[in-house]
Amino acid sequence: MAGRNGSVFALGEKLIRLLLFEFDAGPDRVRNGRCIYGKVEPKGVASPRTAATADGSAAAAPAAKPRSYPGSGFQVAGATLGTDTPPLVWKAITARGGTPGPTGLGGIGPLRIYGREAAWGDVGQGVYTVAFDFDEDGPGGQLIAVTLFYVAEAADLPRLLEQGAAALATVYGPLSATSPRNHEGKIGAVRITLGVDPAASAVIETCRVR
């Protein structure tokens, strides 16, 4: 360790293979050789860390206000749309013996968490995995969609699609066929889509509030 507050090593470019940054003056100031870098805040924006109340005491950063979505409270795959957060879903996936896998790709919101290798037998026969989409990439995100993936051989996908549509109809009412590969419906304010993804060799069922 170097410096009173520690140091960090970083890989450089071709001519300088290793860079040493020392935190000599505190956690918000770093030195590399003769160069000293300091943390700055955007102009006109008060940092939550330095904001103060009228009496001069430090003020806590305001908590984010929960978003309200029509259809909130609808439950699917053990999760509650509109209210569940990433930490809650993460814990639920591990409780099923699964490995949560976050990704920012292919989701409805900025954060998607997959419940890989979890036991989803109680959710639906043939469910391979479940994806949970949130409206924010952080612990305060609210669940806006849940997607079930039913994996099958390509030749079985049309039959699986029709079976899924019939099963949903018995519980929520008939779905409308928007194309040979897609059905849609609504449960109150919750939108349901059921479709075939040939590339993934799967039938995909999504419930969403946004």
Instruction: Measure the CA angle with vertex 69, ends 66 and 74; round to 5°.
Output: 110
Q: Kindly write down the DSSP assignment for every residue of 173-191, as one continuous string.
A: -PPEEEETTEEEEEETTEE
- pLDDT per position as a tens digit, 39-97: 655 555 444 444 444 444 455 555 567 889 999 999 999 999 999 999 999 999 999 99
- How far is residue 69 CA from its own chain's centroid? 17
Q: Coil, strand or helix: which one is 172?
A: helix
Q: How many whole angstroms separate alpha carbon 143 and alpha carbon 145?
A: 6
* pTM of the model as a whole: 0.69
- Show me where the domains of the chain are located: 1-60, 75-208
Confidence tier at 107 by pLDDT (50, 70, 90): confident
Nearest C-alpha neighbor of 136 from the set 72, 208, 67, 47: 67
CB 81 within 8 A of CB 74: yes
How far apart are alpha carbons 59 and 108 in whole angstroms? 35
The band of 16, judged by pLDDT with boundaries at 50, 70 and 90, is very low
Q: How far apart are CA 87 and CA 96, in angstroms?
A: 15
Q: Are 158 and 103 in contact (CB under 8 A)?
A: no
Pairing mode of beta strands 79-80, 29-32? unpaired
Q: How far apart are CA 124 and CA 28, in angstroms?
A: 51
- DSSP E strands in 41-86: the ranges are 75-76, 79-80
Give the type of residue at 160.
L
pLDDT of residue 98: 94
